[in-house]
A and B are shown apart, each in its own frame.
Chain A
Amino acid sequence: MSSVKRQKQRKVLLMGKSGAGKSSMRSIVFSNYVAKDVRRLAATIDVEHSNIKFMGNLTLNLWDCGGQDGFVENYLTHQRSHVFSSVAVLIFVFDIESREPHTDVVNYSNIIRALQEWSPSAKVFCLIHKMDLVQASRRAQTFEERTEYIRSASEGFRDTVEFYPTSIWDQSLYKAWTQVIYFLIPNASTIENLLEMLAEVIDARELILYERTTCLMVTHVTRGVEASNPYIDRFERISSILKTHKQSLAKHTGIPAGSANFAELQIKTGRFMFFITRLTENTNLAVTIPPSEHVFNAARVNIALARPRFADLDIGNRKRPVDADS
C-alpha cells in the first residue's frame, strides 16, 4: 500500500528568494486567486505543504519553501535530508527585478548542490518571474542574459535545467507550469496514445486535456489543418480564459471558486465547433471539431463511451476496490 502511495506522490520544491513571488504563483495556479489578490499574501514561514491531485494517479506534493535567509540556512543544514530527499522537481523562482542578482545565484547554487547530493535525478525548472516589469522590447534579451548566467551556475543540472519567463499578469505562468506538469505525469505517452485514438474516432481537430481546478493543460493532440493554427500560445491562453471564467462563475453563483465547475461548455460557429466536457475525476477535455452538427453529437457520445478507459489509467481508481476487500 505504502509503495503505491509513494509512487503516486511526486515531491515538488518551490524555492527562491523571499518576495520573488513563489506563493503568489502558487495561489493563482492552485488556489484560484485573482492576480490582484496576491498582495494580500503574507511572507511564507518555513514550508507550506499542499497536495494537488492530477489525473488520479498523480498527486503533487508541493513544498512552498519560505525564502528568507534564516529559513534557507535551515533547509541547507538541519533539514537538508528532509527537504532535499526524493525530490521529483525543483522549481526555482528568480525575481528579474532583484537588486542583488549575484547573491540570488549564489543561493541557487547552494540549493542545487544540496539537491544533487540527495536527489540527483530531480529535474530543475527556473522561472524568471515578474517579467511584466521589464520593457516589452527588452524582455527577450534580458531573459537570454539571465538564463546564461544562471545556467553557468547550475553545476550537474547544467544540461537539463529549463528556463521560462513568467508573470502573474499574463498566460506565461500557465505555459511554465504546464511544462512542469507534463514532466511529472508518469504515463503521459499512454494518455497521449489513447487521446490520439479518440481524436481519430471523433474526427477532432484538436483535443486538449486539462486539469479541472488549476486549468493546467496535461497534454494535447492536434490533427490535420489545426497544426497550422497561427495561435501557437493557444493552450496557455485557454488555461487563462477558463480560469478567469471560473472566477466569474463563482462570483455569480456564490459557489466557492474551487468547485464552480461547468458540466459542459459548447461553442458552435460556422468555422468550428468547440466543447469542453468532463473526462475523469480531475480532468476535462476540450474538443475542437469541424463545424458539423452530426460530428458534434457523435463526438459527445464517443467521449462519454471513452470515459471508463481513461478512468482505468488512474492507478488510484484501480487499487481502491482491492483495498476495500482486504
Chain B
Amino acid sequence: MDDQRGDGSGGLGASARAADAGPSRTFDTQRPGPTAHGEPAASSSSVSAAVPEAPPDAPLSRFRHGKRLTLERYLQDLPFADRPPSPQRYHTGKIPNTKTGDGKPRLLLMGQRRSGKSSISSVVFNKLAPSETLYLETTHRIHKESMHSFMDFQVWDLPAHIDYSDPAFDTEDIFSDISALIWVIDAQDEYYDAIQRLNTTILRLQESHPSIIIAVFVHKVDGLSEDYRTDTFRDIVQRVQDELCDAGFENAPVNFYQTSIYDHSIFEAFSKVIQKLIPELPSLEALLDALCASCRIEKAYLFDVLSKIYVATDTSPTDIGSYEICSDYIDVVVDISEIYGWERDEAEAAAEADDGGAVGDSGNKDAESLITMEKHGNNYLYLREINKYLALICIMGEDSATERKALIDYNVRVFQEALNRVFSR
C-alpha cells in the first residue's frame, strides 16, 4: 500500500519526521536583528519595518530569537530579502558552465518604451499593486535587481532608448549565455517597430550568444477583447516567425506568452521562462509526477513562496485556473502566518508549555496546511513548506480520502528528501 519512492528508509511517517527535524536549518542570521549587529538603535527601525503593526513601545526583546525560522518568519523578513548582509550565504542553483564570480542567471527585460517593462518587474518582484504602476517613472538607465530565492538571479530592466546595436556598446556586459531575454510588446499599441527591433536583436544574439533563451511577452492583453486578443497574438507570432525565417533563421526557439499585470498571467509566463533556466527541471518534474501518481494528486506545484513563481509542476496539462487557486492559497497561508507567527516571549511560551504539556514535541517544523471542501467532499488543497524558499502545493483529486492524509504526509516527506538531494551542493 505504501508507495516507496526514491529509497525512503521505510520507517513510518512519524520516524521519518523526527529524523528530519534536525537542526539542518537555522537561519537566524538573515535579518539584521539586535543580536546580529548589537546596535539596537540602528536595528529598531528595521524591526518595525518587518512588523508594520508593532506598537512603538513594544519591547524589542520580542524579536530577539529567530531560531525556528519557518515560512512565516522568512516572509516577515521580506523587505530584506533583496539585500542580504552577505550574499554568499545564499546558495545558487548549480548551473552548468557557470562563470565564476557573477554567474547568476539574468532575466533581461527589453522592449519599446512604455511597453510595461518596469511595471512587470515591479509587480512580480517588488509586489507593487498593479494599479500603482501608473506612477512609475520612465527608466533611464539599466536597472538591476537581484533576487535571492531558490536560485539567485538578476532582473535587468533595460531602458528602450539605448541602441544596443551600436558597436561602441559592450554587449558582452549585458548578455551572457546563461540568461533569458524577455521582450515585451505592447499589444494595445502599434507593434511593427517593436517586432523589427526584436528581430534585429534576435539575429544579432544568434551569432554572439546562441544559447540565450528568448521569450516574447505580448503584454497588456487585459485591455483587448477575447477575439481581438487571440488575433493580435497570432499576428505577432506570425510576423516574428516569418521575418526570422526570411533572414534564414528557421524554427527560432522563441516562446510567446500573453501577459497582463492585472491577473496571474504574468506570473505564469515568468514561471515558464525561469523554468528554462533550471537545469534540474526534468528531475523535479519526474519527482512531482511520481508524487502525483502515488497520492492521487490532480496537480502539484513547487512554488517559490516569495515571488509566487512556480519552479516546477508535474507534466499533466496546466491551466491558469489551478495556478490561480494555488497562488491565492499561498496568500491565505502567508497572511495568517504573519498574524499569528509573531515572535512570542520565550518565558511566556515556556509557561504555556508547562500548562499544556510539552509544546514543541510536534516535530512540525515546516509549515503545513490543508483545506477540506464541503461540497467536494474530500481533501482539496494541500501545502507543505519544502525549504525556506519553496513550498509544495497540491490540488487533490476527487477520490483522495481524508484518512490517507498520513500516506500523503509520508510520501511528501520522501519527496522532500529526494528534492534536497537534487539540490544538494
Interface residues of A (CB under 8 A from B): 203, 205-206, 224-225, 229-234, 237-238, 241-242, 244-245, 248-249, 251-253, 255, 259-274, 288, 290-296
Check if B369 sits within 8 Å of A265, measured CB to CB: yes
Distance in angstroms from A267 CB to nearest chain B CB is 4
Q: A225-B345, A292-B359 are in contact. Are A269 and B71 (CB under 8 A)?
A: yes
Majority secondary structure, A binding face: mixed
15 contacts between A and B (CB under 8 A): A203-B356, A225-B345, A232-B53, A241-B335, A248-B328, A251-B321, A260-B375, A262-B373, A264-B371, A265-B332, A266-B369, A269-B366, A270-B70, A272-B341, A288-B340
Q: Which of A203, A232, A262, A290 contacts B380 (CB 8 A)?
A: A262
* A269 in contact with B355 (CB, 8 Å): no
Per the bound structure, the CA–CA distance linking A291 and B68 in Å amounts to 12
Could you tell me if A237 and B371 are in contact, using CB atoms closer than 8 angstroms?
A: no
Nearest CB of chain B from residue A297's CB, rounded to whole Å: 11
Q: 1/0 contact trace for B365-389 toward A, CB 8 Å?
A: 1111111111110001000010000
Q: Is the CB of A269 within 8 A of B339?
A: no
Asked if A225 and B339 sit within 8 Å, CB to CB, the answer is no
Question: Which of chain A's residues have a CB closer than 8 A to the CB of B341?
Answer: 269, 271-272
Contact A238 B328 (CB under 8 A): no
Cα distance, A260 to B371, chains bound together (Å): 12
Quick check: B336 and A241 within 8 Å, CB to CB?
yes
A295 contacts across to B, CB distance below 8 A? 356-357, 359
A238, B336: Cβ atoms under 8 Å?
yes
Task: Report yes or no: A237 in contact with B364, Cβ–Cβ below 8 A.
Answer: no
- A261-B375, A270-B365 known; 18 other A-B pairs, CB under 8 Å? A206-B340, A225-B352, A231-B338, A233-B53, A242-B332, A249-B325, A251-B325, A252-B322, A265-B332, A265-B369, A267-B367, A268-B362, A272-B340, A272-B341, A291-B360, A291-B364, A292-B361, A295-B359
CA gap between A225 and B341 in the complex, in Å: 12
- Distance in Å: Cβ of B315 to nearest Cβ of chain A: 21
Contacts of A267 on B, CB cut-off 8 Å? 333, 336-337, 367-369
Q: Looking at the assembled complex, report how far the CB atom of B341 sits from the nearest CB atom of chain A, in whole angstroms.
A: 5
Check if B19 is an interface residue, CB within 8 A of chain A. Answer: no
Q: Looking across the interface, which residue of chain B has its beta carbon closest to that of A203?
A: B356
What CA separation (Å) do A252 and B381 show in the bound complex?
12
Docked complex Cα distance between A203 and B338 (Å): 21
Instruction: Provide the bound-state CA to CA distance between A326 and B5, in Å.
Output: 64
A248 and B324 contact, CB distance less than 8 A: yes
Instruction: For residue B205, give the distance in angstroms from its CB to the closest CB of chain A.
Output: 39
Residue of B nearest to A206 (CB): B340
